[in-house]
Amino acid sequence: MVEASSAEEALRLIRNGARPDVLVTDHLMPGMNGTDLARIVRSERPGMRVLLVSGMRRMMASHQTCLGSPNRFEVTNSPTV
């Protein structure tokens, strides 16, 4: 497991050779958000699996229509406790 403190750091790590089995990212982060990170990573590494997490159901539902091909993501609402 490799941890990054921001989307920008995660992108640098991946571009510098990190090969995670799956990218797990929150949508809402300072700077680049997780959705944009996922789009960039998918465009550079089409086979990369991505788990995009958000507790903000309405926002993710609206983003679902913006995640068109070839970087389409399935959006699943995470349970909130």
pLDDT band at 66 (very low <50, low <70, confident <90, very high): very low
Question: Is residue 72's pLDDT more than 50?
Answer: yes
Domain residues of the chain, as ranges?
A: 7-64
Gap between the Cα atoms of 58 and 40, Å rounded: 23
Contacts of 52 (CB under 8 A, 6+ apart): 25, 26, 27, 34, 35, 38, 60, 73, 75
Q: What is the pLDDT of residues 20-63, one digit of tens each?
A: 999 998 888 889 998 899 999 999 998 888 888 877 655 555 55
* Residue 15 pLDDT: 96
pLDDT at 78: 57
Q: How far apart are CA 39 and CA 37, in angstroms?
A: 5
Q: Which residues contact 30 (CB under 8 A, 6 or more apart)?
A: 6
**Is residue 18 over pLDDT 90?**
yes
Report if pTM > 0.75: no
